[in-house]
């Protein structure tokens, strides 16, 4: 299959949006930009279209997909009753990088929900995503548009690396602004529960409505993890080690170099000025830049340049929490 490249121009009757919407309506799958990462979209009401997503990504069938919609009125046709706090969350954060897990009313294909009674609903704010949803007039099921296990794509070039020849088209809308995926929040109980940290931080949500944090997630974040666990994702081509203690980073790098290894360092701009390595991958200057550049950096790491990369641990403030979570999943070990 030849993968068409369509360029979003953000204008009325945008031809790229029309073409992408026609593909979605005819049961094809299309990669499209969102404010978080690029998604790989299919008509959520068409089981055979949704099936194509799982095949193109090599995604395990028991992992449910997020359903993207244009506005809240479309949500009401897909879900059952939900707690009143959902309206408050929507008012505060949508359109934007947050996904609400709600009771499904059965409209969305079982292939999307992986047989669960719930469905993840997100209203993206990126104009290309929003226009596509409006013109296609379909709820669009979309995971991140990477091969399963690889870092999520934050530009159209990343999508092409993974999906060329596997999908009908890529809608190019430039680089994603947030850089990490949406916050997934379970809204089926008396309090919302964060299932995955993302573009909207727990602290921001907590200001609107009191949340509960899943105990297992707290444990996961503080415990060094072993390789090959079911949490492993976003894997770069070379070994990545997360370093808790920045003070010893230079010494750690030099020890590896003395063993003949070419060593990379993924560090903040500030640390980059103080440290020497064979290659520096830069996080940028603050949490927002760090999130924006994370996946591009993970994709850049390869054996031609380095044998091993040490990543500086960052504070889990605001969107930094999501970044740290992704780093821990990407890392071979934490030292
Ligand atoms: O920002 C994002 O969320 C991006 C863009 C494309 O919207 N999408 C994304 O999708 O990251 P994906 O498939 O890579 O991750 C979706 C996450 C998975 O961890 C999945 O298990 C969870 O959301 N999820 C989806 N539906 C769910 C449900 N009904 N209950 C619990 N978790 C759900
Ligand atoms: Mg993903």
CA of 143 to the centre of ligand 2 (A): 6
Structure confidence at residue 287 (pLDDT): 86
Q: For residue 289, which of 177, 196, 201, 198 has the smallest C-alpha distance?
A: 177
Domain 239-334 in the same topology as domain 4-222 = no
Structure confidence at residue 224 (pLDDT): 34
**Ligand 1 atom nearest residue 97's Cα:** 1
Q: Identify which ligand lies nearest to the alpha carbon of 53.
A: 1
- Interval 81-88 mean pLDDT: 96
Confidence of residue 211 (pLDDT cuts 50, 70, 90): confident
CA of 137 to the centre of ligand 1 (A): 21
Average pLDDT, the chain: 91
Considering only CA atoms, which residue is closest to atom 7 of ligand 1? 39
pTM of the entire predicted model: 0.92
> Does 95 sit behind a cis peptide bond, omega within 30 degrees of 0 on the bond before it?
yes
Q: Is the dihedral of CA 147, 310, 264, 296 positive or negative?
A: positive
- Interval 126-146 mean pLDDT: 98
Ligand 1 mutation target, pool 34, 39, 63, 66, most atoms within 8 A of CB: 66
Confidence of residue 214 (pLDDT cuts 50, 70, 90): low
Share of the chain above pLDDT 70, in %: 94
Contact 263, 288 (CB under 8 A): no
- Interval 280-307 mean pLDDT: 93
Q: Which residues of 142-164 are buried (b: 16+ CB within 10 A; e: fewer)?
A: bbbbbeeebbbbbbbebbbebbe
- Interval 223-247 mean pLDDT: 67
pLDDT > 50? residue 316: yes
CA of 306 to the centre of ligand 1 (A): 32
Q: Identify which ligand lies nearest to the alpha carbon of 32.
A: 1
CATH number for the region 239-334 comes to 3.40.50.11030
Q: How far apart are CA 125 and CA 197, in angstroms?
A: 18
- The distance between the two most distant Cα atoms of the chain, rounded to a whole number of Å, is 62
pLDDT > 90? residue 222: no
Q: Which residues does a 6 A CB cutoff place in the pocket of ligand 1?
A: 34, 36-37, 39, 63-66, 97, 99, 101, 113, 116, 118-120, 122, 142-144, 181-182, 184, 195-196
Encode pLDDT of 8-24 as tens digits.
999 999 999 999 999 99
Residue 140: CB atoms within 10 Å: 29
Residue-by-residue DSSP string for 144-189 = BSS-TTSPPPSSHHHHHHHHTTTSSEEEE--S-SS-SPPEEEE-SS
| Residue 296 tokens, joined | 């591009």
Q: How far apart are CA 249 and CA 314, in angstroms?
A: 13
Q: Any idea where the domains of the chain sit in the sequence?
A: 4-222, 239-334
- Interval 142-148 mean pLDDT: 96
Confidence of residue 213 (pLDDT cuts 50, 70, 90): low
Q: Is 85 exposed, middle or buried (0-12, 13-18, 19+ CB in 10 A)?
A: middle
pLDDT > 70? residue 261: yes
Structure confidence at residue 232 (pLDDT): 61
Ligand 1 mutation target, pool 67, 120, 140, most atoms within 8 A of CB: 120
Confidence of residue 168 (pLDDT cuts 50, 70, 90): very high
- Interval 292-300 mean pLDDT: 95
**Who has greater pLDDT, 126 or 245?**
126
Confidence of residue 234 (pLDDT cuts 50, 70, 90): confident
Q: Identify which ligand lies nearest to the alpha carbon of 146.
A: 2
What is the assigned CATH class of domain 4-222? Answer: alpha beta
Element (H, E) at 52: helix 47-57
- Interval 297-314 mean pLDDT: 94
CA of 184 to the centre of ligand 1 (A): 7
pLDDT > 60? residue 59: yes
- Interval 97-102 mean pLDDT: 98
């Amino acid at each position: 299959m030849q993968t068409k490249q369509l360029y979003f121009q953000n204008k009325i009757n945008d031809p790229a949006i029309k073409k992408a919407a026609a593909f979605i309506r005819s049961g094809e799958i299309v990669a499209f930009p969102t404010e978080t990462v690029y998604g790989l979209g299919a008509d959520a009401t068409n089981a055979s279209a949704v099936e194509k997503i799982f095949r193109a990504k090599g995604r395990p069938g028991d992992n449910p997909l997020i359903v993207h919609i244009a506005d809240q009125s479309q949500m009401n046709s897909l879900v059952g009753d939900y707690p009143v706090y959902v309206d408050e969350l929507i008012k505060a954060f949508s359109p934007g990088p947050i996904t609400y897990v709600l009771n499904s009313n059965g409209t969305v294909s079982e292939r999307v929900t992986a047989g669960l009674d719930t469905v993840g609903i997100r209203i993206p704010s990126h104009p290309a995503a929003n226009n596509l949803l409006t013109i296609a007039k379909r709820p669009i099921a979309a995971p991140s548009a990477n091969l399963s296990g690889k870092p999520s794509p934050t530009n159209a070039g990343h999508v092409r690396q993974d999906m060329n020849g596997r999908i009908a088209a890529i809608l190019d809308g430039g680089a994603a602004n947030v850089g990490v995926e949406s916050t997934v929040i379970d809204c089926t109980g008396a309090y919302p529960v964060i299932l995955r940290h993302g573009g909207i931080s727990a602290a921001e949500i907590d200001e609107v409505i009191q949340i509960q944090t899943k105990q297992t997630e707290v444990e996961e974040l503080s415990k060094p993890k072993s390789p090959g666990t079911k949490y492993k994702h976003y894997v770069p081509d070379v070994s990545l080690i997360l370093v808790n203690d920045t003070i010893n980073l230079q010494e750690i790098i030099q020890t590896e170099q003395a063993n003949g290894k070419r060593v990379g360092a993924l560090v903040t701009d500030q640390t980059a000025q103080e440290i020497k390595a064979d290659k520096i991958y830069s996080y940028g200057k603050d949490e927002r830049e760090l999130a924006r550049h994370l996946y591009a950096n993970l994709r850049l790491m390869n054996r031609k340049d380095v044998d091993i990369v040490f990543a500086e641990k960052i504070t889990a403030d605001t969107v930094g929490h999501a970044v740290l979570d992704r780093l821990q999943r990407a890392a071979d070990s934490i030292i």
